[in-house]
Structure 1
Amino acid sequence: MKTLIAALAGGAVLLAGAAAFANPAPAERPLGVEARIPFANTTGIRNFRADGDNALWIEGQRGEWYRAELFGPCIGLNHAVKVGFVTRGTNTLDRFGQVLVDGSKCQISSLVTSAEPPPKAKGKKS
């Protein structure tokens, strides 16, 4: 009986260890590092949020965030409901790509890993 209990306890420890390998904790991702978003022209981008007309946050398919700085103001970006991404012949968005807003192309100057953007500010009540 003692052997059976010891075997069951040992099996439980092995199963717990196997579960840890099957579902490892997500590794911390360094922020502010130049990045590339794979499959940007198909399923690689889930969402975006403008930061004025000079930058935007881009959410990748797995929930990771990136920040794209633009070379200059991209008129209409701050109020855009949808944008396009020009990947220049590849399916990966990087610092050489462009953002398409209302038919205008805006050149990306840097695309880096980022934390989730801050919450949107609430509108002021008069």
Structure 2
Amino acid sequence: MQLTSYETASEMMQSLSAQIASELSAAIALRGRACLAVPGGSTPGPLFDLLSQAVLDWANVTVMLTDERWVPTDSPRSNTGLIKNRLLVNSASAARYIALYAPGLDHVGGARALSQQVAPN
């Protein structure tokens, strides 16, 4: 494994954004679509800002969270708000988003609904 060091966090985020965009483009070229699972919290926000501007076929990208609090999506504690405000904007607004939280369901029902959304066709 090769280690890469960066002078600044901004430089690291730019490199990571370019790498993710490249891998998404390669997956789309190979399979016609790609999935991007991302964490919540404030740490990935700067990465999302950069990635949202990447030029790629966002209409064939599905985005979902790896973690979420079981709160409505308009709650300040919801990671969905972060994704919608910082990643699913600019070029990335064409991406499909699968939310982990399902209004009107408890976490068990929500897990079932989510399983149906992500099951292969």
Q: Same fold (TM over 0.5)?
A: no
- TM-score category, normalised to shorter length: under 0.3
- Which structure has greater helix proportion? 2
TM-score, normalised to structure 2, is 0.25
Higher strand share: 1
TM-score, L = length of structure 1:
0.24
